[in-house]
Structure 1
């Protein structure tokens, strides 16, 4: 077994949702990295070896629940990152 084959399925969902929102086109790499960290820290780990397994071994209800969790976590993280006070604090740290 190759350990590099194992990954957190939520990472796939988060990246897909970020692309769907086109944030990868409107935000810089630092923002996206911060966003991904904030989002993934709000979500449970769900490790898999093959993404295709999710189609066979996860119910539609469970997949929908996972997608809803991602939407909520991304929305919350964007709100926090876009908060003017946070941007000001971040600039002062640099």
Structure 2
């Protein structure tokens, strides 16, 4: 099994369907669309599935409408960050790097690092 082949996030499909609309492709370049997709997907709860047809056949239409609305909302919120991009000269900016790793083993986990399910013996 290869996760990238056998399993995917259905929200990526919904966001992609929105971003290929002429309204977006005429307004934003490829880099901006990729940034927009990342920003939107980071706001959405992932829905991992194996096969679209199986998922959609079992999904109530009301739930699909809600998922599409969530994707549209995430994109519209993310658009402000792309439109009002404060970075100047994006192509010539040099990224900042640190030479000394700053890792604190005692620091708390971020919300996305916390396991959703905990073992029963804890």
For the aligned pair, the TM-score class normalised by the smaller chain equals: 0.7 to 0.9
Higher relative helix content: 1
Q: How does 1:61-72 map to 2 (within 5 A)?
A: 61-72=62-73
Distance in structure 2 (CA, Å) of the matches to 1:67 and 1:59? 13
Match of 1:89 in 2: 87
- Give 1:5 deviation, angstroms: 2.0
Match of 2:103 in 1: none
Distance in structure 1 (CA, Å) of the matches to 2:22 and 2:55? 23
Between the two proteins, the alignment pairs up a number of residues equal to 91
For the aligned residue pairs, the C-alpha RMSD in angstroms reads: 1.9
Task: For structure 2, list consecutive stretches of 5 or more residues without a partner in the other structure.
Answer: 94-122
Question: Where do 4+ consecutive residues of structure 1 move more than 4 Å?
Answer: none
For normalisation by structure 2, the TM-score amounts to 0.66
Match of 1:47 in 2: 48
Deviation track 1:35-70 (CA, whole Å, cap 9, x = no partner) reads 111000000010001111222111111101100000
Q: 1:64 to 1:90 in 2, by over 3 A?
A: farther
Distance in structure 1 (CA, Å) of the matches to 2:74 and 2:63? 16
1:24 paired to 2:28: no
For normalisation by structure 1, the TM-score amounts to 0.84
